[in-house]
Amino acid sequence: MILVTIDIFDITNIDATINFIKINKPDLVIHAAAYTDVDGCESNIDQAYRVNALGARNIAVGCNYTDAAMVYISTDYVFDGQKGNSYTEFDATNPLSVYGKSKLEGENFVKRICDRHYIVRTSWLFGKNGRNFITTMLKLAETRDEISVVDDQVGSPTYTLDLAKAISQLIAKPTYGTFHITNSDYCSWYQFAKEIFEIAGKSKIRVNRISTEELNRPAPRPKYSVLNNYCWHLQGYDKIRSYKEALREYISTII
């Protein structure tokens, strides 16, 4: 297995991307790199499409040259959140933000260029390495006794460990196509924050509900973007555990 970062090659450089894939001849490439600053994408539109759409195209072209299979990590933000129910892989997409639109164009390039692809849409990731909502909440709790969190965006928090396990199951078989992979159950960011503080033994922190409008961020976000792991289920795989159990396990590793 070769782990690659932007220091090795930049996915927006098509020559460097293809060369790297040609030299290393992988059986499969897991493409997780992206411009993920959802609000930043609204003001850096070119960079969003350059990285999230054309970057995915470049990897797909490299995979196509070398006959490698490809996993593209995508997002619940390809949906508008208006359905009022969880989204299956067969629901129509309608991204609201530049981030969601550029990730969807990445999906489209991958579908068109690389026959042997798995598009894995996931949501609200937390896990080892890097910052996430949980580490942000716990950090804020060190200096504050009151935190305001939005209560009108609902999704499925997903532990990267469970996502990685699911991807390893998926790629063991040629079940190419689009899959929604999240932990089971769902919550609002507010409910998630409350659960985090409870598990971390910090339930004294007062969490205030606020609306998306009050938070006033540049990028529009779907109100209800819960993903239904429908193809995963149809394919006969076991239900992925609740985010609540995964959250307990993750928090026990960091505090």
Q: Is 39 in the site for ligand NAP (CB under 6 A)?
A: no
Q: Which residue has the tokens 């992988």?
A: 26
Q: Is 225 in the site for ligand NAP (CB under 6 A)?
A: no
Contact 171, 69 (CB under 8 A): yes
Residues, the chain: 255
Q: Which part of the chain contacts ligand NAP (CB under 6 A), choosing from 34-42, 139-147, 213-221, 237-245? A: 34-42
Work out how close the CB of 101 gets to ligand NAP at its nearest, in angstroms, rounded to a whole number: 12
Q: Which residues pair with 69 in a beta bridge?
A: 28
Closest CA to 55 of 117, 120, 119, 9: 9
Q: Is 243 helix (H, G, I), strand (E, B) or coil?
A: helix
Q: Is 220 helix (H, G, I), strand (E, B) or coil?
A: coil
Whether 250 is catalytic is: no
Q: Is 192 in the site for ligand NAP (CB under 6 A)?
A: no
Structure tokens belonging to residue 156? 């499925």
Q: What is the DSSP string of 145-212?
A: SEEEEESS-EE--EEHHHHHHHHHHHTTTT--EEEE---B--EEHHHHHHHHHHHTT-TTSEEEEE-H
Q: Is 109 in the site for ligand NAP (CB under 6 A)?
A: no
Helix H or strand E segment including 24: helix 14-24
Site track 138-177 with ligand NAP (rule: CB under 6 A), x = hit: ----------------------------------------
Q: Which part of the chain contacts ligand NAP (CB under 6 A), choosing from 33-41, 60-68, 180-188, 196-204? A: 33-41
Q: Is 95 in the site for ligand NAP (CB under 6 A)?
A: no
Total chain residues near ligand NAP (CB under 6 A): 20
* The only residue of 20, 55, 57, 149 in contact with ligand NAP, by rule CB under 6 A: 55
Closer of 35 and 49 to ligand NAP (Cβ): 35
Cα–Cα dist 122/184, whole Å: 12
Q: Which part of the chain contacts ligand NAP (CB under 6 A), choosing from 120-128, 141-149, 164-172, 176-184? A: 120-128
Q: Is 72 helix (H, G, I), strand (E, B) or coil?
A: strand
* The only residue of 123, 188, 225, 229 in contact with ligand NAP, by rule CB under 6 A: 123
Say which of 87, 99, 190, 224 is annotated catalytic: 99
Q: Is 122 in the site for ligand NAP (CB under 6 A)?
A: yes
Q: Is 246 in the site for ligand NAP (CB under 6 A)?
A: no
Active site residues: 99
Site residues for ligand NAP per CB under 6 A: 5-6, 10-12, 32-36, 51, 55, 73, 75, 103, 122-125, 130
